[in-house]
Amino acid sequence: MHQNQNTLNKIYDAKMTRRYESKINNGSLEIAEDPEVTNLRFLEKFDISTLNLYISNGMIVKLRSNSLKVLTVYNFRDEDEEKQQGQNMYVDNLELENLEVLMLEQNYLENDQLYNLAKFKKLHTLDVSLNYVDLTHIYSVTSLTSLTMQECGFQNIDQIGVLTNLEYLDVSANQLLNIDQICLLVNLKELYISQNWGLDIAPLKHLLGLTHLAINKCDITQLSALKPLINLQYLNLSHNSDIIITELQYLINIISLDLTCCELVSVYVLRPLVNIEYLDISRNTIVYLDANLNEMKKIEIIQSRIETNK
């Protein structure tokens, strides 16, 4: 019986190898909606250290590899069906000691399914958007340089300061009101905190290394916290009604600025931004546009809608 099982395993591996060999050799393998694939033993025959592996199959519950570096697990169904498909997916069952990038967005995983993320000692990029995240599991992965947690439903990130290696952070579309600990992320270069209504942005003044910032749809009006951020190059402030943009004149390194739908009537204060190349001021009620911008010599792109401000 044991011998017969070994024979079946060899047949399985050979079949799967033939099916996916060319894709593996091209560096990207997608396994989706294939009921025959219940494990990935056949991958052990290949050098997959440069392989991007995409899995969309709730039947795969274990994965072992000493060389895989990039793994994406995804489902694209309605929420109830996604929950069912993701029932067998447990991070603790992934034996991937050299994993560097783990993308788990839109799987609706529960907290216990994200347990033991810290075992991935080389993990630097993690996306857990649209999962039911217990941040305790996330805070344990101190090797992270990039973290994306969109639409996870949490209200605070009160221990985010332990992730001192972070250079990229996206916590858009949650329910954040307080981001005090974010000032401890001294290496942060890109921050995306859009769609957190009523957010207090005062702690941003400490993030002097920021080059990219998105705080659109946060219902903010005062921008004094941005004044010290002279390294900012890309800034999205769109859909913040009644915003006061006076402080933006000090951000002299801005290259791209989005002020769509901010109920502005003038952008005269932006004249010192001589390095700007992209400016979107559509859906405002700005008058004398040319006069306001005539000293901004480097502008290459202004959204066409600003001509009518519709």
Predicted local distance difference test score (pLDDT) of residue 200: 94
Predicted local distance difference test score (pLDDT) of residue 174: 96
Sign of CA dihedral 110, 111, 116, 117: positive
Alpha carbon separation from 302 to 186, 198, 211, 256, 263 (Å, rounded) = 33, 29, 21, 10, 17
- Model confidence at 220, in pLDDT bands (50, 70, 90)? very high
Predicted local distance difference test score (pLDDT) of residue 113: 85
Predicted local distance difference test score (pLDDT) of residue 304: 42
For residues 182 and 194, give the distance between their C-alpha atoms in angstroms, rounded to a whole number: 15
Q: Tokens for 144?
A: 């992270």
The structural domains of the chain, ordered by start, are 1-152 (3.80.10)
Q: Which residue has the tokens 């091209």?
A: 26
- Model confidence at 61, in pLDDT bands (50, 70, 90)? low
pLDDT tens digits along 125-171: 999 999 888 899 999 999 999 999 999 999 999 999 999 999 999 99
pLDDT tens digits along 67-81: 899 998 876 444 555
Query: Are the C-beta atoms of residues 262 and 244 closer than 8 Å to each other?
Result: no
pLDDT tens digits along 184-210: 999 999 999 999 999 999 999 999 999
| pTM reported for the whole predicted model | 0.87
